[in-house]
Amino acid sequence: MNLVRQKKDHPLAGVKEIARRANVSRGTVDRVIHNRPGVSEETKRHINAIIEELDYQPNVLARRLALASRGTVRLGVLLPSVSEETEYWKAPLEGIDKAETEIKPYGVELKHYFFDQNVQATFARQVAQIMVDQPDGVLITPTFEEESIQLLGFCREKQIPAVLMNSDIPGQQRLCYIGPELFDSGYLAAQLTDYCLKPGQKVMVVNIAREIENNVAILGKVEGFLAYFREKRSEEPLVHFHTTDTDYVSVSAGLSALLAREKEIGIIFVTNSRVVLVAEWLEKTGRKDIVLIGYDFLSSNIDYLKKGYIDFLICEKPQEQGYRGVMTLFRHLVMSVPAIEDYLIPIDIVTSANYRFYRN
């Protein structure tokens, strides 16, 4: 007997069987599937657990007919624009584009709201535009906390499902968060640093961004990094270098000045993909005696990884984040599939030995 076919075609794997197992009416199951009110949280959890166990999927054809009757579903994506300086955002955009191609036949339209991650005012303008447009669902990269909280409040008021990507904002109501646990990402970087740290050496923690004080992603990683050293060692070996000037000349000048004073620096940890600027400085000054740890699987970073100036890259699958963000909104709005509240992306460590096998 073909067990796989039996499971797929089993007549009980539908609303009737879900209702029987949950000991509720079919109407109650239907309300849970379509996210309608009138069902207690405990009953919802019980029914959703049975749905997951049976691998139940709502009838796609029925969903498409319902979609045709209500018109186009409009999704908005709030994302940093891609540039030579911000190559990182090319990966989630590729994932978003892939998802858009898959869902277009279902009558879904996707609009991009690009902002300059170095200019907070551009983020605020795009938030205001989303409020005017009022899409049916929105995928948010919450680079700036204050405006992101404002947008999430608007979405809650208008009952617009919002998915956060890449970084989360604790305590805020959203449909789903897709991305790494930032605190743990920083904690992992500190643990890796500790393994490499030799007696008498110091660690430089480097933040390179035009906006640091309000940058959710950077602050979360730094919090985790410092927490590790407070627990396992102390903050005594840590030296901090923050710069809002993101060009190579400014960064190299700051590094040279600090390294002239702090000659015991043995490890440098950069909290974002601008680790490439530090790697370039190490190459030009001939420093291969410093372990360099940074973020993101970018072509420029991989070049320095191969040369030996970057030792470890911490990577968090940005392409998958973008794809899953759009598909979560699609499944929720069109197919009434319950969203996972926190979809945490694995935190990977890439080196010169394994970079050839890694995929964003």
CA dist list (Å): 114 to 97, 118, 124, 139, 235: 14, 12, 11, 12, 38
Burial class (CB in 10 A: 0-12, 13-18, 19+), 42: exposed
Report the C-alpha gap between 218 and 216 in whole angstroms.
6
Q: What is the pLDDT of residues 232-262, one digit of tens each?
A: 999 999 999 999 998 999 999 999 999 999 9
Measured between alpha carbons, how far is 301 from 313 in angstroms, rounded to an integer?
8
**Residue 319: predicted pLDDT:** 94
**By three-state DSSP, how is residue 208 classified?**
strand
Distance CA 70, CA 160 (A): 16
CA angle 283, 286, 292 (to 5 degrees): 55
- Residue 7 is predicted with a pLDDT of 37
pTM for the structure as a whole: 0.75
Mean pLDDT of successive 10-residue stretches along the chain, which has 360 residues: 36 68 84 78 85 64 50 91 78 94 89 91 96 97 93 96 93 94 96 96 94 84 96 93 93 96 96 95 95 95 96 95 95 86 94 93
pLDDT, one tens digit per residue, over 82-113 is: 876 667 899 999 999 999 999 888 889 999 99
pLDDT for the residue 85: 65
Neighbour tally for 321: CB within 10 Å:
24
Domains of the chain, CATH where assigned: 3-56 (1.10.260.40), 71-180+318-344 (3.40.50.2300), 182-315 (3.40.50.2300)
| Closest C-alpha to 103, from 328, 352, 346 | 328
